[in-house]
Each structure stands twice: as C-alpha cells, then as structure tokens.
Amino acid sequence: MLRLDDLQVFVRTADRGSLSAAGRELDISPALASAAVKRLELALGLRLFARTTRSLRLTEEGEHYLVHAREALRLLKEGHDALIQGKDTFSGTLKISVPSDLGRNVLLGWLDAFQLHYPALQYQLSVSDRVADMYRQPVDIALRYGRQDDSSLIAMPIAPANRRVLVAAPAYLAQHGAPAALEELRRHNCLRYVLDDVVYDRWSFQRGPAQEPISVAVGGNRTADDADVVRRWAVAGLGIAYKSRIDVSEDIRCGRLQVLLPDLAWEPVPLHLVCMHRAQVTPVVIQLRDFLRAACAAQL
C-alpha cells in the first residue's frame, strides 16, 4: 500500500532537490524524509533518486513517476476540497444581491422552487437597484443586468440574449394611443428610472439592417429609483416603460402590458450571476446558475 505522506515527501524532495529541505517544509527530520522515499521505492520496486554524498537527482523512472504522483496528490486534494465545500455550501447561508423588480416579482418564486431541492440551504437576500460593492458588503453572489466590465469579478451568463422592451398597459393605450415610431415617444408620458441621482431620460435602441444605434430623449411626470415602482406605474396605465423583458414577461403574457414597436431591436441587457472569485463558484452556485438559466429561457 502506498502512503500519502510518502508521496508528499517524494514530490517535495523532487521540487527542492534535497531531503533535508523537503523535511523542513513538511516539519519532519531528514531521516524520516529519507525513510519515506525508501519506503516508496520499495513499494514501487523502482529507484526514484540517484544519490551521492553531495547530490540527489531523479532517475529516469523517478522523472516519469513524478508526473503521476503530482496528479494523484492534486486529485486527492480536489476531491477533499469538493467534499468540504459541498458540505459547507449546501447547508449554509447563501447571501444574494438582486435588482428590485427581478428580485420581488420573478426571483422569489424561483428561489422557493430551487430551495425544495436543497432544504438545508438558507438565503439572505439584498434587494436593491444599487450595484452591491461585493468587496465591502456581505454578499456571496449577485444578479446583475448589463455588460460586466470588471475583470476582477467572475460573471456567469444567465440570460445573455435578454433585451429591454417598450411596454404600456391597455388602459394607457386606449386613452393615448400607441406610438407608431420612436420619435412619437416624445409626446407620451414615459416612466423614467433614476440611479445614483441620474435620470435615464435617453432610451437607446437599434434600427435598420445595420443595427444602427439610436437614442430618443423622453419625458414624463414620474421617475423612481426603484425599477419595480416603474413597472407598477406601467401596469396601472400611467405611462410607457422601457423594461428588461424578463421583468415584464409575465405581465405581457397575462395581458397587463402590451409590447410597443415590436419590429425594433431593443437595447441588450444581458443578465449575469456574479461573484468575486473562483472559490465562490461552489457546487450549489453552479446548480443555481443552471436552474436560473433554464428558468430565464422559459420566461423569455
């Protein structure tokens, strides 16, 4: 039987070129390190090192075996980490930051369904349209719309083809009519969104075979820093909204909102699941990512 600690001594000795250096790193004496290598050589029936009084070098067999020893240690560590990580993650608390509209009206039901698969998993939700500072706030993962330009974060696509959509309630359209062209938005009451004290009053689209970008300045009597409030105003028949398709797809399906100018190419707003580093891409996060991808595909 090969001993794991003998493999570790062999690999460390090969890396350091010295039994005494390997022993110091592993906190064992040179004599114990030498005994470990001899034990391994005996078990394998191979001579791994060529020794002289002044030098220690790998034999040809030792060079070949070193590759396999490294891989064996890597796989054992990977398996151990996966077990520990899975145990901790599946039974712990997952801290999630989500946008207001997506969080309240779409994600809550999806998370309920997901939790049925992992009943020991707990959620701590932060619902806000302000982008969470993942380095300062207690957040494990975040759902974010738009391009993710911060290369220091891990961004996993959830709905890469999602776009904004122009919508209004039947009651609003019955009273004010539907715009027949983008330019007509200027005479309508447009429900605008505010983030960090900036009013988003220029709505972006793409037009024509070349997908030429175009923006239209819009105005209206209502603004909010909460995207869910904008959606509620639209459903109440108070104006036209320009919303993420995911957020209003159920309203469209149920007839509470109608799509306007459907031949336009609307602004892309891909949805991503974001975390700070690879260590946070745990088995349960991967399962949640795949679950949300499927749910978004069905929603769209």
Q: Which residue has the tokens 């302000």?
A: 130
Domains for the chain: give ranges and CATH numbers. Answer: 4-88 (1.10.10.10), 92-158+272-299 (3.40.190.10), 164-266 (3.40.190.290)
- For the segment 111-167, what is each residue's pLDDT rounded down to a tens digit? 998 888 888 888 888 888 877 666 666 788 899 998 876 667 788 999 999 999 999
What is the full DSSP assignment across 154-180? Answer: EEEEEETT-BEEEEE-HHHHHHH---S
Phi, psi of 247 (to 5 degrees): -65, -30
Would you state the pLDDT for residue 89? 47
Dist CA 243 CA 269 (whole Å):
10
pLDDT tens digits for 9-47?
A: 999 999 988 899 988 888 899 899 999 999 999 988 889
**Band of pLDDT at residue 195, cut at 50, 70 and 90:** confident
- Confidence category of residue 74, pLDDT binned at 50, 70, 90: confident
**Gap between the Cα atoms of 201 and 205, Å rounded:** 13
Nearest to 221 by CA among 178, 196, 192: 192
Alpha-carbon distance 188 to 180, whole Å? Answer: 12
Looking at residue 212, what is its pLDDT? Answer: 81
| Pairwise CA distance, residues 183 & 241, whole Å | 15
The answer to whether the beta carbons of residues 37 and 49 sit under 8 Å apart is yes
**CA 139, 141, 143, 149 torsion: positive or negative?**
positive
Read off the pTM. 0.66
Cβ contacts of 58 within 8 Å, gap of 6 or more:
14, 48, 49, 50, 66
Count of other CB atoms within 10 angstroms of residue 66: 17
CA distances (Å), origin 98, targets 117, 131, 140: 21, 9, 11
Q: Tell me if 231 sits within 8 A of 248, measured CB to CB.
A: yes
Higher pLDDT, 54 or 132: 54
* Secondary structure letter of residue 240 according to DSSP: B
Angle among Cα 241, 146, 173 to the nearest 5 degrees reads 10
